[in-house]
């Protein structure tokens, strides 16, 4: 993420990234990188219940290493907005920004403000309603085909849940006598939930609908799908929540 980039050279007031991570209890975000503008950079974290927290750092041109982390131990972050304020913005009308290249107040707002969602935008809505949506199509050239997706949301306590929806399908290229799906969910506390989806698909039962929800009392980190041809693992895919 770059903010305050010059329009005439390679100068960047802020050169940083925002990482989403889970501390075992809640989802957090960390802004880290180098800040060498003339003014203030602030990051406002929005939590699952709609409340916010703002952290900031100041420098007057000297390069400064940043590490700003949401620190509410009981609330999960769903998005954050980072803003760079140049000291000379005070000479501009509200809603306009100082441009160091020409001395005018015509710097674009998009170069000063950036919102980062937990999960992958645009699949993430930046709210507990939907934090991510990963497509999961799993097959090798001789196995059954799984077509579906994993959606992530969070509850009133900020716990991350996964919802797998889709279908396992016998295709013209599937060989063997049967195919089935295994779902392995890993949680933030290190525990694992494994499910074998039945019934299997066969030449006479060619489609099985799949609907799996993660345990409601724990936060999900990864969902792994394995398609079996008879009893042999034939294809695997993994969905990671956030920056897992």
Phi, then psi, of 47 in degrees rounded to 5: -95, 170
Residues 46 and 104 placed together within one structural domain of the fold: yes
In a domain, 126, yes or no: no
pLDDT for the residue numbered 8? 84
In a domain, 123, yes or no: no
Per-residue pLDDT tens digits for 115-173: 998 876 667 888 888 898 999 999 987 999 999 999 999 999 999 999 999 999 999 99
pLDDT for the residue numbered 161? 95
| b/e 161-192 (16+ beta carbons within 10 angstroms → b) | bbbbebbbbbeeebebebbbbebebbbbeeee
Q: Which pTM was predicted?
A: 0.76
The whole domain housing 170 covers: 132-240
Angle, alpha carbons 103-106-111 (nearest 5°): 110
Of 58, 91, 117, which residue constitutes the final position of a domain?
Answer: 117
pLDDT for the residue numbered 141? 77
* Three-state secondary-structure class, residue 109: helix
pLDDT band at 181 (very low <50, low <70, confident <90, very high): very high
Beta bridge partners of 132: 152
Residues 86 and 179 placed together within one structural domain of the fold: no
Residues 108 and 212 placed together within one structural domain of the fold: no
Q: Is the pLDDT of residue 244 over 60?
A: no
Phi, then psi, of 39 in degrees rounded to 5: 155, -140
Domains in the chain, number: 2
Q: Among 46-50, 115-119, 221-225, which stretch is predicted with the lowest mean pLDDT?
A: 115-119
pLDDT for the residue numbered 121? 66
pLDDT band at 209 (very low <50, low <70, confident <90, very high): very high
Question: DSSP 3-state helix, strand, coil percentages of the chain (rounded to 5)?
Answer: 5, 60, 40
Q: What is the mean pLDDT of the chain?
A: 92
Q: Is the pLDDT of residue 63 over 80?
A: yes
pLDDT for the residue numbered 25? 84
Of 88, 117, 146, which residue constitutes the final position of a domain?
Answer: 117
Per-residue pLDDT tens digits for 66-112: 999 999 989 999 999 999 999 999 999 988 899 988 889 999 888 99
Residue 181 belongs to domain with CATH number: 2.60.40
Residue whose token pair is 């503008």: 37
């Amino acid at each position: 993420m770059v903010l305050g980039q010059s329009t005439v050279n390679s100068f960047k007031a802020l050169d940083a990234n925002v990482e989403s991570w889970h501390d075992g209890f809640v989802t957090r975000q960390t802004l880290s990188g180098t800040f060498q503008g003339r003014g203030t950079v602030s990051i406002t974290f929005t939590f699952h219940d709609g409340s916010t927290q703002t952290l900031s750092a100041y420098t007057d041109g000297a390069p400064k290493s940043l590490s700003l982390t949401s620190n509410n131990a009981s609330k999960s972050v769903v998005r954050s907005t980072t803003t760079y304020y140049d000291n000379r913005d005070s000479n501009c009308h509200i809603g306009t920004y100082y441009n160091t290249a020409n001395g005018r107040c015509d710097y674009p707002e998009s170069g000063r403000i950036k919102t980062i969602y937990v999960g992958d935008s645009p699949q993430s809505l930046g709210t507990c309603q939907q934090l991510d949506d990963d497509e999961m199509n799993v097959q090798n050239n001789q196995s059954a085909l799984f077509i579906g997706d994993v959606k992530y949301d969070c509850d009133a306590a900020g716990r991350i849940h996964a919802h797998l929806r889709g279908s396992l399908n016998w295709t013209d290229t599937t060989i063997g006598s049967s195919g089935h799906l295994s779902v392995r969910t890993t949680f933030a506390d290190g525990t694992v939930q494994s499910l074998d989806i039945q019934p299997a698909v066969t030449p006479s039962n060619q489609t099985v609908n799949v609907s799996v929800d993660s345990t409601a009392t724990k936060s999900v980190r990864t969902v792994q799908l394995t398609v079996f041809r008879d009893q042999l693992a034939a294809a695997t895919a993994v969905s990671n929540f956030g920056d897992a």
